[in-house]
Amino acid sequence: MTIVSPDVKTDPRWSLLDGTLPMLIGGELLADGPTSNIVSSRDRSVVGKFAVADAAIADKAVAAARKAAPGWAGLTGFERGKYLLKIAEIMEAHAAEFEFLDAVDIGKPVTGVRYSDMPVSLSALAYFAGRAQDLGGRSVEVGDPMVSHRARLEPYGVVLEVLPWNGPLWTGVQRMAAILAAGNVAIMKPSELASASFSYLASLIADVLPPGVLTVLNGKGSVVGARLVTHPDVAMVSLTGGVETGVRVLQDTASQVKRVSLELGGKNPNIVMADADLDSAIMWSTMGGFSNSGQICVCGSRILVQKGIYKEFAARLVDAAKKRVVGDPLLDSTEMGPVVGEDHYNKIWGYIDHAVKNGEGELLVGGERYTDELRAGGWYVPPTVFGNVTPGCVIEKEEIFGPVVTLTPFETLDEALAIANDTTFGLASGIFTSSVENAEKAARELQAGQVYVNQWFAPGGLQAPSQGYKTSGLGGVGIEKYLQTKNIFIRSNNGASW
């Protein structure tokens, strides 16, 4: 199987990176001033640059957003929705460019963007375009026949959305669509490790929305992110990222009692019972463990396998890991590309080396650095499986966020559930079984915001958004997190009732 192709070098889409990718502030594209390099995960080379903000630019952007907020909130849902549909049309026309940018920038295989990130982004724009006309709100009987009640859901005003690097396009577009549909204006802060695709989106839609309704600001979290998070005119902060950053944001906003929503990390248990359909469990567990090189918050990185099938499951997972095509993310044939960057690459190898050195389970496959020219030149980590891993050890407990899974044998479902729940995270979880009883018991007892039964990952992130349990999440999800509720009480006899 080809892992690198020579004609990649002549791809005309390289010209997208000829200039500086801009930011969007008050309806203007800003490419002058400070920049940061785009370092390609494919080969560690500098392939382009994007504009970055400082505190003064961030303040200017917030002022422009604040000015735009009342006008945007005053539009009808239908009018706001039409803007979102226009953005979808533009994005779809440029799909191939988005594939290219994420592949070059963060090493995401082009097929990952084509068949997942792009459709998710487009359906989010369409879904929230509709939701803009139906924001919800309910009416209840309040115990006095002369008083009627209705709840009205209102936007906050200026909403800051801080993005992770692992799915910059879909996480960004999905959240942007919800913020705007709810009637807020959006300040999007992509990760400093993955700013290319969202900056490119900004350049395509700069003149679609009224000035200030959408702001795209690049830069380091510790500088631009921190400034925006604490800005008094930013009414609500939503972060998708690591737990440590989430805690920091809570601390930084506490004195302002700011509305905060956090969608954070996970270390997700995948329970495979002996009565499971093994072909299906292997297929989904491989996808769940290694998709996007394990850099998905809901990846199934802790696989718990019932003893009767443990040996066979381990052998077949190893086989599937060996067959995974790890190569140039620009090729359609590639299933797994490199990981995002130097620090993350070193972090993942740190976990692998730690596990090998300390005997945290037995290394069944992977765990060795590539030596061929392509993969030694980029930040590639092979699909890696550790077997017979003791619950509670470092690689079983901490979020590695790479293509590394642990296998732990267990006897009974009760034992598996106890291991599964013995974590500070609670993002996703799953079980493979042919027993309805097992499935229902796991669904009741797993302590996580999502439970997958006989599959991994799930459609329906828009219609049924999940809030992580424990340290994995806080403060609401979906469009609701961008809305505040006002209860309105109306007396109809215009006088005292006693």
Annotated active-site residue 263? The verdict is yes
Contact criterion met (CB below 8 Å) for 195 and 220: no
Task: Look at residues 77, 58, 71 and name the one whose alpha carbon lies nearest to residue 211.
Answer: 71
| Selected binder of ligand NAD within 109, 172, 212, 241 (CB under 6 A) | 241
- By CB under 6 A, residue 360 contacts ligand NAD: no
Q: Among residues 224 and 309, whose Cβ is nearest to ligand NAD?
A: 224
| Selected binder of ligand NAD within 41, 245, 293, 429 (CB under 6 A) | 245
Least spacing, CB of residue 212 vs ligand NAD, in Å: 21
- By CB under 6 A, residue 169 contacts ligand NAD: no
Q: Among residues 117 and 399, whose Cβ is nearest to ligand NAD?
A: 399
Write out the E strands in 228-273.
Answer: 236-240, 259-263, 269-272
- By CB under 6 A, residue 240 contacts ligand NAD: yes
Write out the E strands in 296-403.
Answer: 302-306, 362-365, 384-387
Characterise 146 by phi-psi region: left (phi > 0), alpha (psi -120 to 50), beta (else).
alpha
Contact criterion met (CB below 8 Å) for 484 and 315: no
Spatial distance between the Cα atoms of 221 and 340, rounded to a whole number of angstroms: 16
Residue 331, burial from CB neighbour count under 10 angstroms (0-12, 13-18, 19+): buried
Least spacing, CB of residue 279 vs ligand NAD, in Å: 29
Q: Among residues 240 and 438, whose Cβ is nearest to ligand NAD?
A: 240
Q: Among residues 219 and 409, whose Cβ is nearest to ligand NAD?
A: 219
- By CB under 6 A, residue 226 contacts ligand NAD: yes
Q: Among residues 401 and 456, whose Cβ is nearest to ligand NAD?
A: 401
- By CB under 6 A, residue 212 contacts ligand NAD: no
User: Running DSSP on this structure, what letter comes out for residue 59?
Assistant: H
Annotated active-site residue 297? The verdict is yes
Which residues 124-163 are close enough to bind ligand NAD by CB under 6 A?
162-163
Which token pair is 362? 């037995």
Q: Where are the alpha helices (DSSP H) in 254-299?
A: 278-290
Contact criterion met (CB below 8 Å) for 202 and 172: no
| Selected binder of ligand NAD within 48, 112, 155, 164 (CB under 6 A) | 164
Beta-bridge partners for 29: 24
Which residues 439-468 are close enough to bind ligand NAD by CB under 6 A?
468
Count of residues of this chain found to bind ligand NAD when the rule CB under 6 A is applied: 30
Beta-bridge partners for 214: 186
Residues 6+ apart with CB under 8 A from 489: 142, 147, 148, 149
- By CB under 6 A, residue 268 contacts ligand NAD: no
Amino acid code (one letter) for 31: A
Task: Look at residues 28, 37, 31 and name the one whose alpha carbon lies nearest to residue 51.
Answer: 31
Least spacing, CB of residue 419 vs ligand NAD, in Å: 20
Least spacing, CB of residue 96 vs ligand NAD, in Å: 24
Site string for ligand NAD, 171-210 (x = CB under 6 A): x-----------------x-xx------------------
Contact criterion met (CB below 8 Å) for 189 and 225: yes
Residues, the chain: 498
| Selected binder of ligand NAD within 248, 267, 302, 316 (CB under 6 A) | 248
Beta-bridge partners for 453: 431
Q: Which stretch binds ligand NAD (CB under 6 A): 74-82, 112-120, 238-246, 327-335?
A: 238-246
Q: Among residues 404 and 413, whose Cβ is nearest to ligand NAD?
A: 404
Instruction: Please provide residue 252's backbone torsions phi and psi, each rounded to the nearest 5 degrees.
Output: -70, -25
Spatial distance between the Cα atoms of 61 and 68, rounded to a whole number of angstroms: 11
Q: Which residue in the shown chain puts its C-beta closest to ligand NAD?
A: 221
Among 99, 161, 192, 297, the active-site one is: 297
- By CB under 6 A, residue 265 contacts ligand NAD: yes
- By CB under 6 A, residue 218 contacts ligand NAD: no
Beta-bridge partners for 392: none
Write out the E strands in 114-273.
Answer: 147-155, 158-162, 185-189, 214-216, 236-240, 259-263, 269-272
Least spacing, CB of residue 297 vs ligand NAD, in Å: 3
Q: Among residues 52 and 442, whose Cβ is nearest to ligand NAD?
A: 52
Among 99, 161, 263, 335, the active-site one is: 263
Contact criterion met (CB below 8 Å) for 331 and 8: yes
- By CB under 6 A, residue 426 contacts ligand NAD: no
Site string for ligand NAD, 380-399 (x = CB under 6 A): -------------------x
Spatial distance between the Cα atoms of 113 and 195, rounded to a whole number of angstroms: 15
- By CB under 6 A, residue 259 contacts ligand NAD: no
Beta-bridge partners for 474: 262
- By CB under 6 A, residue 105 contacts ligand NAD: no
Interface residues with ligand NAD (CB under 6 A)?
162-166, 171, 189, 191-192, 221-222, 225-226, 229, 239-242, 245, 248-249, 263-266, 297, 399, 401, 427, 468
Q: Which residues are tagged catalytic?
A: 263, 297
